[in-house]
Chains A and B, each alone.
Chain A
Amino acid sequence: MSRPRPEPVQVVKERRDAALRVLTGNVPYIRFLGIQFERRGDELTAVLPFDEKLIGNPLLPALHGGVTAAFLEVAALVELSWSVLWEDIEAGRIDPRALAPEDLPRMPKTIDFSVDYLRSGLPRDAYARARVNRSGRRYASVHVEAWQDNRTRPFAQATGHFLMPETRDAAARNG
């Protein structure tokens, strides 16, 4: 029984929430769409509160297919960045409270993104969760699903491939 005494819960929460804020709070497009992120431990849920400007078909009405694609892509990118950042934060290598956005590793770049539209997006809030299926040193593959009323009836899903940013060590080696 020699494990170190666990940190107080508030300290842990504050550190993780600060990291999430740094990651998502400074991207204008995330703000433009109004996307928020909820966190349970390391699990993220992207939330897209309904807004009139997200409508693509005023007659139905339905969410714009482009909004759905963008929402899925944002959710996938944030999940991927978050999963990379998580270990550094938990190991104390990064202190998010002292972190400015420009100190963060760069965001991964989307190589391709393929969206399946399963049913039309209703004029109400939408949620998305992404799963990193593979995250290598250079490439990552991420799957993401979005739903509205029923978690088991997604209205869209997507798979994307991403180019990982250079790690600090690699960047230092390459000058």
Chain B
Amino acid sequence: MSEGRDDKTAEKTPGQGTDKLAHARHFIEAIPHSRALGMRIEEMEDGQAQISMPWDPALVGDPRTGVIHGGAVSALMDTCCGAAVISHPEAPAGTATIDLRIDYMRAATPGQRITARAHVYHITRTVAFLRAEAMDETEGLPVASATGAFTVERPAAPPVPAQTKEASA
């Protein structure tokens, strides 16, 4: 789906943008729960993100079919949406989910990798609006689609005071 993505960030003019992106990518890959699910960031740029996750027997929701639990797909979608928000050119300092709605169109095929793509389709000073889709390795109908609203946390005005995190919920 996405060719040549590896070089995209490197080709950009060096500076704040690239650093910030690399930082954000590290940040997401360091999230304990994302690691527990084996998530891999494949793309994260300009308010769009693509993250994939391998099928794993530990994530199965129905032992009779081997289909992965919807909750694991939700976790992937939520992470992917969050990654899309912090990669937005308006450079939010952080984000949190306000709401996320997921439609499950079909069961994910057992054994196949699941890939989520999310994009910010609108952003205001305080809120980012997202759409996302999850595919397995079978072409055609996505496994699930999602819409969400996320907070946009702005960097505090300089000089940066200590922790203002508590105010956000």
**Which positions in A face B, CB cutoff 8 Å?**
26-29, 31-33, 52-60, 62, 64-67, 69-71, 73-74, 101-102, 106-107, 109-120
Contacts and interface: CB of A to CB of B under 8 A. Distances in A.
Instruction: Bin the interface of chain B by size.
Output: 35 or more
Contact of A109 (B30, B60, B104): B104
Contacts of B78: 64-66, 69
Nearest to A159: B101
A116 B99 CA distance: 5
B131 to A, nearest CB: 14
A110 B143 CA distance: 12
Contacts of B31: 55-58, 64
Contacts of B77: 66
B69 to A, nearest CB: 4
27 contacts: A28-B57, A28-B58, A29-B71, A29-B72, A32-B58, A32-B59, A55-B31, A64-B78, A66-B33, A66-B76, A67-B75, A69-B75, A69-B78, A69-B102, A73-B70, A74-B69, A111-B103, A111-B104, A112-B103, A113-B102, A114-B100, A115-B99, A115-B101, A116-B99, A117-B97, A117-B100, A120-B96
A120 B61 CA distance: 26
B71 A71 contact: yes
Given A28-B58, A120-B169, A73 B71 contact: yes
